[in-house]
Structures are given as C-alpha cells and as structure tokens.
Amino acid sequence: MESMLYNTDAIVVRNLTYGETHAIVNLLTPTGLVAAMARGAKKPQSRLAASIQLCAQGKYSIYQNTGMGTLQQAEVTNSRRGLREHLFLAAYASYFCELVLAVAADRPDGSEGLYRTFETVLDRLTNLPDEALTTRILWEVKVLMQVGASPQWTKCIHCGHEDNTLVAYSPSEGGLLCESCFATKSEHSIVTPAKLPNVLENLRKVPAQRIGSIRLSEEVTKAAALVLRMQLQEYGGIHLKSQKFLDDLESDNLLEEFLSTEKTPVSSDRVSKASKVSKRGVQEKCDDKN
C-alpha cells in the first residue's frame, strides 16, 4: 500500500494503552473500522488526549504506511464526556461500542448507514439517559439487521403467516410464532406480549435518525431485551463481556434507581431533548401503549 495521509470522520470505539505513553484506538468511520497508533496520547499534556476517549467523535487525520496507521491529529467535535462520567451510561456506551466492533466491516468496506445509526444511538444515550434501556433495544435490533440475523418481526418464523398477533418467540427457529404454530411447538418457546411484534418491527424498519422518544411498558421492554439477547447470541454469534455486565446492572434494579434520580421533573425539558434527537426527520411513534 502506498503511504498517505487521509482525513476522515470517526468515532472512537475502543482504546488501549500501548507502552508507557501511547494508545491504540479503533475508530468507526463512514467507510468502516480502522485502527491507529496515537503516539504519546497518554501523556498528560498530549494534544491527542481528548481524541482517544471512548465515544469521542470528530475529524481524524491518519497517516497510513504499511501496517497500522498513525493518528496525526484530530479535531473532536463531540466529546460525549457525559457518557464516561456515570457508571451506567459508561456501561451502555462500552457495550454499544463492543457491538459495533463485532459487526462492522474494516475500512473501506464499511457502511455509512451503520456509522450514522451508531452516531444516533450514542446521541440518544447522551440526550435521553432515562431511555438507555430502550436505546439498547433499538441498537440491538439494528445490529441484528447488520449481521443478517433479523427476522421480520410481524411474520411467523415457522409458517410465514404475516400479521401482528404473533404470540411467542422460538429460540430454535429464531423468530416469533403465530398462535397455531405455537400450539404445536409450545414446549421450547417463550410467550411474548401482544405488542412486541409491532414494536420490534417498527424499530427494524424506521431509520434510527427518525425515531423520537420510545415509550414501552415494562413487560414489552423485558420481553424485547430477552428475545434480542437470545437472537444476538444464537443467530448473530455475538457473546460480549460488557453485555453480561450490563445485564447484571439492569437486573439489580440499580439502573431503575439511577433513572429515577436522573429524571427531570420539567416535562418541557424532556420534549426538547427528545426533539433534539429526532430533529433530522419526522418523529415516529414507537409507543406500545395504544
């Protein structure tokens, strides 16, 4: 490969300390993943220090010779500092990053769509911290699509019957079942709430940038989380340490305590935050309450 310097938009999805003062960063760019050495970035006064932080986004200049590139300079346009300052948000952010590392292609074979979706879910996490759980659900639905492991959630995985009255999840077939198929295969299936098919299908079909606030009942949230985890593991082949950590946090109810203290009592503030997320398009309703 010819040596060259190139500039790219990028988001930091992993950083590792290398030696005493260097770091290796993995960046997601609109054309895929790339790794780069950030020399001296761990020194206290390094001009690269801000640009190697997890979830930081900006313009990165990389010198590419043979082997790993070198990060020459970077202009951070969105540091997403808030995501690193709280245990829960940091846990979500690091899980989201691990997922994208597991499924994105290397540069130049990556997809700009995935880059935009990832940027959007990180912004949601920052702007709507009390919707962290539903943002996780949204991101997992999109990741399943990326790896070709997403069924059409309103179509029976066994007989192909299409409606929104599917009643159970079949781990052995990787999708939802209609009532009559469930009757013959109930042993190994998990009963799911009536609203789950439409919720998952909306999240699958609508671009993340166009999805506003997501309000789901606790029942639907739990079912979606369970179904998506099984689908990611069995059909996406994805097993992540950070996922386990996050599951533990969520099941300890610590998350709910955190969320209840973070919730802002002023509803207009909520609305403005939500519209900030969806400013690039029409807000879609993913509400399962009606």
Q: How far is the CB of 156 from Zn ion (least distance, A)?
A: 3
Q: How far is the CB of 166 from Zn ion (least distance, A)?
A: 8
Q: Does residue 159 bind Zn ion (CB under 5 A)?
A: yes
Residue in 39, 86, 161, 185 binding Zn ion, rule: CB under 5 A:
161
Q: Binding pattern to Zn ion, positions 173-192, x when CB under 5 A?
A: -----x--x-----------
Distance CA 192, CA 168 (A): 5
Please compute Rg for the chain using Cα positions: 20
Q: Does residue 155 bind Zn ion (CB under 5 A)?
A: no
Contacts of 187 (CB under 8 A, 6+ apart): none
Residue in 14, 80, 142, 158 binding Zn ion, rule: CB under 5 A:
158
Looking at beta carbons only, is 166 or 199 nearer to Zn ion? 166
Could you tell me how far CA 3 lies from the centroid of its own chain? 33
| Window of 27-35, 153-161, 167-175, 204-212 that interacts with Zn ion by CB under 5 A | 153-161
| Identity of residue 160 | G
Contacts of 253 (CB under 8 A, 6+ apart): none
The DSSP code for 208 is G
What part of residues 212-231 is at the interface with Zn ion (CB under 5 A)?
none
What part of residues 90-149 is at the interface with Zn ion (CB under 5 A)?
none
Distance CA 26, CA 105 (A): 12
Q: Does residue 166 bind Zn ion (CB under 5 A)?
A: no
Q: How far is the CB of 160 from Zn ion (least distance, A)?
A: 7
Task: Report CA-CA distances (Å) from 75 to 10, 71, 184.
Answer: 10, 11, 59
Beta bridge partners of 75: 59
Other residues' Cβ atoms within 10 Å of the Cβ of residue 205: 13
| Window of 9-17, 118-126, 151-159, 209-217 that interacts with Zn ion by CB under 5 A | 151-159
Q: Does residue 276 bind Zn ion (CB under 5 A)?
A: no
Q: How far is the CB of 199 from Zn ion (least distance, A)?
A: 19
- Contact criterion met (CB below 8 Å) for 34 and 62: yes
Distance CA 135, CA 116 (A): 15
Residue in 156, 168, 216, 224 binding Zn ion, rule: CB under 5 A:
156
Q: How far is the CB of 185 from Zn ion (least distance, A)?
A: 9
Looking at beta carbons only, is 13 or 178 nearer to Zn ion? 178
- Contact criterion met (CB below 8 Å) for 32 and 104: yes
Binding footprint of Zn ion on the chain (CB under 5 A): 156, 158-159, 161, 178, 181
